[in-house]
Structures are given as structure tokens and as C-alpha cells.
Amino acid sequence: MQEGNPVPPRGSRSPDAVVAGDEVAAAGDAVAPEDAAALRDAAEILALAESDELAAGRAREAYRTRPMARLEPDPSIARLLAPGEHLHAVRRSALLERRESATATGASAGLGGTVYLTSKRLVLVGRRTVAFALEDIVEAMLSGDQLLLVMRDGRGAALRVVQPRLFRVEVAAARAAARP
């Protein structure tokens, strides 16, 4: 490392170093408590994202050769399932923010609850129940840790769930299986 430059060249950091922006805190260096908490939080967020990405990759490979597993529905979704509709995934503590098309009334509405991915729909059960037919979803993409859904009629939704990358793969597999 050159004197006067506290950051070593890319690729030459010690494995014990934690990077935050342009600063490096090597093991044993003194770090202010608020900085330590921020570094710990950043490391935890990164670990969760990496774990989610690995799970998404494994699921993507699995769904290429076999169909999604069917889950036993809990009472909240069982009463809403149509004949022949099966449950594939559940995400508790989900937050959904709807975006309406320019011609619709009301700009957005945020809802919380449990999201169920079925063979035909994406259903949020909370104070209110909101459902999107899989055939109406034209795009599912990630923005940070939000899953953004775009509907055929111009509506959209931002969905915050645990393991959003894995859930995106599950939504894609369910959509593909639902196509005639």
C-alpha cells in the first residue's frame, strides 16, 4: 500500500478487511461504535442478499427440470383457492404498494399481510385481499430488494418480501407453468 493512500489497490485487500465506501477497517483497527454498527448492518444485508441469490439460482436450476412443489394451504388462502388452483410459495410480513395506471383513480395504496403464490394468482391476504392473475403480470423485476410487478393494463405493484430474488424466480416459474 502506498503511503498517504489508506485504501490498498483493488484485489489486494486482506481477507480480514471490511470495506465501507473508500475506507477500510482491518481486523484489530479501532472503529467508532456507530461505524461498527453500520459495517455490521451492511455485512448482514450483503450476506442476506448473497444467500437469496444462491437460493434463487438453485431454484432456477430445479424448475428447469421439474415443476414447482405444491404446498399445503393454510386456512387464510385455502378458502380463496379455486378448484384446481394450487399453492406454491408463501411470504409472510409482506408489504405491497400498488401503482395504478394514469387513467385509474387513486395513485397508490400500501398494504401489509401474507403473499401467496398459487398456480393462477399472486394473492396478498391482510386487512384487505388483493389478487393479481399470473396471466396479467407481464414483467417481474428487482429494484434493490423490492420486486416490481407490471400488469398488462398498466397497473403495477412494488412488493417487499423476504428473499425477493428467490420469490422472483418462483413467480417466473409459476407464470411459465400457467401459460397454455
Listed residues 64, 98, 118: the one ending a domain: 64
Please give the torsion angle defined by the CA atoms of residues 87, 157, 80 and 173, in that order, rounded to the nearest 10 degrees.
-20
- Total domains, the chain: 2
Percent of the chain with pLDDT over 90: 62
- Strand partners of residue 109: 98
In a domain, 75, yes or no: yes
Q: Could you tell me if 148 and 99 are in contact, meaning their C-beta atoms sit under 8 angstroms apart?
A: no
Written as nine digits, the cell of 135 is: 396471466
**93 in the same domain as 127:** yes
Percent of the chain with pLDDT over 70: 77
| More confident site: 14 or 151 | 151
The answer on pLDDT for 20 being more than 60 is no
The answer on pLDDT for 156 being more than 50 is yes
Lowest mean pLDDT among 80-84, 96-100, 111-115: 96-100
Residue 145 sits in a domain whose CATH number is 2.30.29.30
* Separation between Cα atoms, residue 89 and residue 78, nearest integer Å: 13
How many residues are listed for the chain in this entry? 180
Written as nine digits, the cell of 173 is: 416459474
**139 in the same domain as 54:** no
Q: Which residue has the cell 395504496?
A: 109
How much of the chain is in helix, strand and coil states, percent to nearest 5? 30, 35, 35
The answer on pLDDT for 78 being more than 50 is yes
Structural domain boundaries enclosing 123:
70-178
**166 in the same domain as 102:** yes
- Strand partners of residue 76: none
**112 in the same domain as 25:** no
Can you tell me whether residue 33 is helix, strand or coil?
helix
Question: Using 50, 70 and 90 to split pLDDT, how confident is the model at 31?
Answer: low
In a domain, 109, yes or no: yes
Q: Could you please report the per-residue DSSP string of 51-66?
A: HHHHHHHHHHHHHHHS
In a domain, 146, yes or no: yes
**96 in the same domain as 159:** yes
* Separation between Cα atoms, residue 148 and residue 42, nearest integer Å: 23
* Separation between Cα atoms, residue 24 and residue 74, nearest integer Å: 48
| Displacement of CA 6 from its chain's centroid (Å) | 36
